[in-house]
Structure 1
Amino acid sequence: MFHHKKNMGDTPKEVLNWRMWYGVFVFGMMGAARGLDEGLIGTTATLPSFSNQFRLKDPALSEAEQDNRLSNITSMVQLGSILGALIGFYITDKIGRLWATRELCVVWVSGIAIYLGAAAHGSLGMIYAGRFIAGIGIGQTTVVAPTYLAETAPRAIRGLCVCIFSGNVYLGIMLGYFAAYGSSLHIAKTSSFQWVNCNLLHIYFAFIIFTASWFAKESPRWLIKVGRHEEAAKEMSTLRNLPIEHPYVQTEIIDINDQLNREREATLGLGWMGYVKELFLIPANRYRVMLSVMSQLLGQWSGANSITIYAPEYFEMVGQTGTEEKLFATAIFGVVKFVSAMLCAFFLIDWIGRKRALYTGISLQAFAMLYMALFLVIDTTVDDESIPQSPSQKRAAIGAIVMIYLSGFGWAMGWNSIQYLINSEIYPLRLRAIGGSLAMTVHFANQYGNSKAVPSMFTGLTTGGTMFFFAAITCIGLIWVYFFLPETQGKSLEAMDAMFSLPWYLIGRKGAQMTQGIGSTAEVYGMDEKVPEIETLERIPSESREKRADA
């Protein structure tokens, strides 16, 4: 699979089979859930039918009131997603990855039905309520999908599989942009169906994911966690396209059991508080939490998501003032982000490593933000059609449009991939769902704050000042990555503990090098990697403990 062949090592070729790729397809498609909303809401608010029906440009409202109404509508899904991410870890661990997928699809569609129902009643309250409920379902996708993908993917292509999810965010964004653009061209501006039509994409995608989930396989790691060992062995065998007795399958199962047994022993008798105490009282886990929180904080305030959600407004800033002109430029922006996200997933993230991809992406994004900031400070009349632009101003404006596209490429290559991938990789099995839930709660809380703040920032800080703010945060992120973010490429999920057991000041800069060669829990505890003597799954938990004790 492209360059991944040289990363496979001793991994049997059978593991790259249609069953595994089908699971990647189903759970990766969940990325489109939040992508659709990000792509649709900003463009929907630009459509005359929606803007007029819900008085987004009503002259009777002050500029601050108009900004507040727009930010309330756009950010309501993020507010619901905070709750979705919070409950996501409990639901995912309680009923499994597959049933959690079906549940979130039902919640998602229920909210969208209320949201679209507002077209008939003209109710702003239905808009808020529907988008909040839809957000509860959408927020859960960011916990369920990366968790499943990280747990079922062979470690040689784990980065690729998780990045399929983040890449599909931009599939959703791109389709949302084009749907709004198509509606603006072919449906009357006076008809509420203009904005309802494009938002039906939510229901289409939810139906596809819900139906496809019935043919996917449950995560073997979750099945082992809840004690369904025989079923876990069968699912692992099917996913890897290898017999249960095959050494590769048996080694994976031993690794999972061994890590889970050690985690249970560490928190024996602590009940549900054991999760919380283990997460915050153990230094290695506190470092993991720091990575989760800071990657979301720095990523969300780098400005890229505000461009995604308010793309038409950004293009208007740099001279694209007509409704269809703005929406077309926005649709092309969606193509750029989708293509760049997929390029990163297939060619970069498992090839040049997580940190190098992030360095490159953040650097491109910082350069683009700085250019736009300087342009908007120097040319303050670019969005005024009544004032003619000189040839040099027009060229500078074209450069600003290119910078918007470049920022999208940098984001897709950098923060967008890492914000999902790092959280799905760094946590041990016992804490993976709650760790991912915490990370995505912070993600949506900051995205909500960003969505709410940006319209007011444009007014209070000016557009140029806002871009300078985003450029500064992006540069801070570059420094943080160098000192604190470890390279996790090629490391097994069960062997990640060795790196986080190092002193905190070494993890980010030297953790990968100092733990090089530690490939699995079996190797850490001196087990024979092939374990040919293992014949039945029932022997694994006790045998694993005995070998660990001997070691």
Structure 2
Amino acid sequence: MAGGVKKPVNIFKLKNLDEPKEVFNWRLWFAVLSFGLLGAARGVDEGLINGALKSKNFQDSINYASYSTVEQANIKANISSMVQIGSVGGALIIGRIWATRILCLLWILGIAIFMGSNGNLSLVYFGRFVAGLGVGQSPVVGPVYIAEIAPASIRGFCVCTFTGFVYLGIVLAYFTNYGCQLHLAETQARWMVPTSLHIIFAGLIFLLTFFQYESPRFLVKTGKSDKALHVMSRLRHLPPDHDYVRHEINAITLSHHEEMEASKGAGWLGILKETFTVRSNLYRVGLTLGAQVMGQWSGAGSITIYAPDLFELLGLTGTKESLLVTAVFGIVKLVAAIVCALFLVDFIGRKRSLLLGIACQAISMIYIAAFLSATPELGNEEGYVIPANSGKLRASRGAIVMIYLSGIGWALGWNSMQYLLSSEIFCLRLRAFCSSLAMCLHFANQYGSARAVPDMLLPVREGGISGQGTFWFFSAVTILGGVWVWFFVPETASRSLESMDRLFSLPWWQIGRYGNREAEVLDEAERVGGEKEGEMMSRSGSRVEEEKGMAYEAERRV
């Protein structure tokens, strides 16, 4: 390391990796902010759509009242989940800066079609699908770009800003719905004004991309090493010849060359073969698949989308009241996401934070399931109201608090880790493809969950499994997810992206428990080997100088 490098003090790091203080500069934070905003794409959509579905004007425009209860549940599920269907395809579009611009344009186009549908249910579905093609790229581009530019010691914090903006979008959407419910008459403006948040965020993100640099790792991958060095120098606020910048670029270049050598520079067929036939890569694909399945079917994501309906299911009456409580729910999740980003993922580590979040979710889901089992009238008897001043009413308020606790658990756990895992654990050559694959799985599972929940909540006599059955299902998945994380997910905090392979050097059944310990042993061996090599080179250099001196002295005497 170059002389004069100061050791920054940062209480948010799990380990201090001796990065120069200049690394933590405004260009880094501006880039993190710009691409973190992509999280709002998901948050705004999840927070707004239920408000539109509850608008009487929107319901009248699609003749919602003319359908049966089961058909209404299907329409609600289709409209809510159509973005996820489009997102499965959108997640396949791989890139960084240009991918962001394309996703913003698709996002705006889809929302414009949705707002201009004029009650045509087919256009409503199509507009939501096109918007999904844009929204689906956001959790691929955002976390991957941030992970590739962030210093290792705060990479978890930086990537979690994406999650934070998911919740910021949710909060803004919830409060916009609540404000319009209070102050706007039941006209088109009642649901169109909140929906315009989509266009505002998409336009802002589109403009910000013109002030950003391409990812240095992406530039190395595309053969632009000189430009990668220049961009890394700008992002790190250090000269191009600084040891820290040179070391980072050299590590990225060497890692990429090793990957290309191992794959003989093969194209897409080689990437597919390397992903699914190399045992350690296949294990990583399994981790991302497991994270998406366990996370999405744990129920917390569905609670975000259908929060007003679920608060009413738990005994809260009145549309305004349910929207207000939903808005507060969004704030709770936003605060939890900030706490997770600042104090957990880089301080106590990814795995511990994830297990803590899963524990909060499990407690809340079990309580809600038990409450609904003890009060089977809720959701099964139309118009049933919990008697005032009864024990059931107090238990109902407890269930509402547990919805908040589930949101905290989701923010601390699955909702952060599903992005972190896919953006960190893959090598540079496979990162874009595998992150895209992970997000396809993400949206496919989110579609399945969002599509299924309205039908699951229906009474048994109408083909559902009722509220209590739904939450017992969520409880079982959450507990299963905790066991899976304990045994199979390794700790990735404070490790450079180029050294992730060391976590997967053990047999698959040992990686989750002992992978990080083995990686640290390999790190130490490399460090000691490097010191010995340097010492040998130094001794060799001294010996050469000594021999030169002796030869010079002999020549002088002659």
Please report the TM-score for the alignment, with normalisation by the length of structure 1.
Answer: 0.91
Q: Partner letter of residue 299 of structure 1?
A: G
Question: Which one of the candidate residues 187, 205, 214 is aligned to 2:210?
Answer: 214
Contact 2:315 2:385 in 1 (8 A): no
The answer as to whether partners of 1:223 and 1:229 remain within 8 angstroms in 2 is yes
Q: Is the 8 A contact 1:355 1:486 kept in 2?
A: yes
Q: Deviations over 1:242-295 (max 9, x none)?
A: 111111101111110111001111111532200000000000000000000000
Give yes or no for contact 1:40–1:198 (8 Å, CA) kept in 2.
yes
Deviations 1:63-105 (A, max 9, x none): 211111111100000000000012x22xx1xxxx111111111
Cα gap change, 1:9/1:313 in structure 2, threshold over 3 Å: closer, same or farther? same
Q: Which residue of 2 aligns with 1:135?
A: 132
Structure exhibiting the larger radius of gyration computed from Cα positions: 2
2:427 is matched with which residue? 428
**Pick from 224, 228, 250: which aligns with 1:254?**
250
1:369-380 equivalences in 2 (<5 Å):
369-380=365-376
The residue number in structure 2 matching 1:278 is: 274
Asked whether the 8 Å contact 1:82–1:139 carries over to 2, the reply is yes
Q: Structure 1 CA distance, aligned partners of 2:319 and 2:370?
A: 25
* Conservation of the 8 A alpha-carbon contact between 1:255 and 1:521: no
Q: Match for residue 480 of structure 2?
A: 476
Classify 1:5/1:414 alpha carbon distance in 2 versus 1 (closer, same or farther; 3 Å).
Answer: closer
Task: Tell me which residue corresponds to 1:197.
Answer: 193
Q: Hey, what does 1:82 align to over in structure 2?
A: 88
Q: Secondary structure at the match of 1:490?
A: coil
Asked whether the equivalents of residues 104 and 140 of structure 1 are also in contact (C-alpha less than 8 Å), the reply is yes
Provide the rounded CA distance (Å) in 2 between the counterparts of 1:395 and 1:321.
15
- Tell me, in whole angstroms, the C-alpha distance in 2 between the residues paired with 1:375 and 1:382: 10
Q: Is the 8 A contact 2:354 2:413 kept in 1?
A: yes
Alignment equivalent of 2:235, drawn from 230, 234, 239: 239
Q: CA contact under 8 A between 1:160 and 1:350: conserved in structure 2? A: yes
Q: Which position in structure 2 is the counterpart of 1:449?
A: 448
Q: Which amino acid in 2 is paired with 1:454?
A: V
Distance 1:140 1:338, change over 3 A: same
Residue of structure 1 in register with 2:61 after alignment:
53
What corresponds to 1:185 in structure 2? 182
Matched, 1:43 2:51: yes
CA distance in 1, matches of 2:242, 2:386: 73
On the 8 A contact 1:113/1:130 being kept in 2, the answer is yes
CA distance, structure 2, for counterparts of residue 310 and residue 299 of structure 1? 16
Count of aligned positions: 520
Match of 2:291 in 1: 295
- Aligned amino acid, residue 193 of structure 2: N
Shift of 1:502: 1.5
In 2, the alpha carbon distance for the partners of 1:357 and 1:349 equals: 6
Q: Is the 8 A contact 1:498 1:515 kept in 2?
A: yes
Give the 3-state SS of the residue equivalent to 2:214 in structure 1. coil
1:361-413 Cα deviation digits (max 9, x unpaired): 00110010000001111113356455624421111011000000000000000
Q: CA offsets, 1:513-532, max 9 Å, x none?
A: 121165599859848999xx
1:334 aligns with 2:325: no
Change (3 A) 1:397 1:527: same
Amino acid at match of 2:152: R
Q: Which residue of 2 aligns with 1:352?
A: 348
- Preserved CA contact (<8 Å) 2:503 2:516: yes
Q: What amino acid does structure 2 have at the position aligned with 1:424?
A: S
Shift of 1:40: 0.6
Instruction: Flag the 1:525–1:205 CA change in 2: closer, same or farther, 3 A.
Output: farther
Q: What's 1:542 paired with?
A: none
Q: Determine whether 1:145 maps to 2:145.
A: no
The aligned amino acid for 2:87 is S
Question: What letter corresponds to residue 506 of structure 2 in structure 1?
Answer: L
Whole-angstrom distance in 2 between the partners of 1:282 and 1:237? 34
2:74 maps to 68
Contact 1:495 1:524 in 2 (8 A): no
Segments of structure 1 that go 5 or more residues without pairing to the other structure are: 534-551
Identity %: 51
Mapped pair 1:158 → 2:155: yes
Residue 543 of structure 1 corresponds to: none
**CA offsets per residue over residues 289-332 of structure 1, 9 Å max, x none?**
00000000000000001100000110001111211111111100
Instruction: State the alpha-carbon separation in 2 of the partners of residues 510 and 260 from structure 1.
Output: 27
Show the counterpart of 1:461. Answer: 465
SS in 1 for 2:90: helix
Q: In structure 2, give the amino acid aligned to 1:37.
A: D
- Report SS of the residue matched to 1:161: helix
* Distance in 2 between residues matched to 1:264 and 1:500, nearest whole Å: 19
CA distance in 2, matches of 1:434, 1:195: 37
Q: CA deviation at 1:55?
A: 3.1
Q: Does the C-alpha gap of structure 1 residues 375 and 132 become closer, same or farther in structure 2, counting only changes over 3 Å?
A: same
Task: Please tell me whether the aligned partners of residues 386 and 392 of structure 2 are also in contact (alpha carbons under 8 angstroms).
Answer: no
Sort the Cα spacing of 1:2 and 1:199 in 2 relative to 1 into closer, same or farther, 3 A. farther
Could you tell which deviates more after superposition, 46-55 or 280-289?
A: 46-55
**Change beyond 3 A, Cα 1:386–1:333:** closer
> For the Cα contact (< 8 Å) 1:251–1:522, is it kept in 2?
no
Q: Partner letter of residue 166 of structure 1?
A: T
For structure 2, the 5+ residue unaligned runs are 1-8, 459-463, 538-558
Aligned partners of 1:146 and 1:424 also within 8 Å: yes
Pair 528,337 (structure 1): closer, same or farther in 2 beyond 3 Å: farther
Structure 1 counterpart SS, 2:12 = helix
Give, as a single letter, the amino acid of the residue that structure 2 aligns with 1:287.
Answer: Y
Q: Give the direction of change, closer, same or farther, for the CA distance of 1:236–1:377 in structure 2 (3 Å limit).
A: same
SS in 2 for 1:243: coil
Q: What is the rounded CA distance, in whole Å, between the counterparts of 2:501 and 2:525 in structure 1?
A: 9
> Is 1:21 paired with 2:29?
yes
Q: State how far apart, in whole Å, the 2-side matches of 1:68 and 1:369 are.
A: 24
Determine the structure 2 residue equivalent to 1:4.
12
Q: 1:496 aligns with which of 496, 500, 503?
A: 500
CA deviation profile, 1:110-157 (whole Å, cap 9, x unmatched): 111111112xx2211111111100100000011111110010000000
**Which digits, 9 at most, give the CA deviation of each residue in 1:193-240, with x for residues without a partner?**
110000100011011111111111210011111111111111000000
Question: In the aligned structure 1, how far is the partner of 2:338 from the partner of 2:54?
Answer: 28
Q: Does 1:439 align with 2:438?
A: yes
Give the conservation status (yes or no) of the 8 Å contact 2:51–2:191.
Answer: no
Instruction: Please tell me the residue identity of whatever aligns with 1:21.
Output: W
1:466 and 1:105 mapped to 2: Cα distance?
35
Report the AA paired with residue 243 of structure 1: P
- Whole-angstrom CA distance in 2 between matches of 1:127 and 1:180: 19
- SS of 1:101's partner is helix
Alignment of 1:305-344 (within 5 A): 305-344=301-340
8 Å contact from structure 1 (residues 491, 518) kept in 2: no
Inter-partner Cα distance in structure 2 for 1:8 and 1:167 = 24
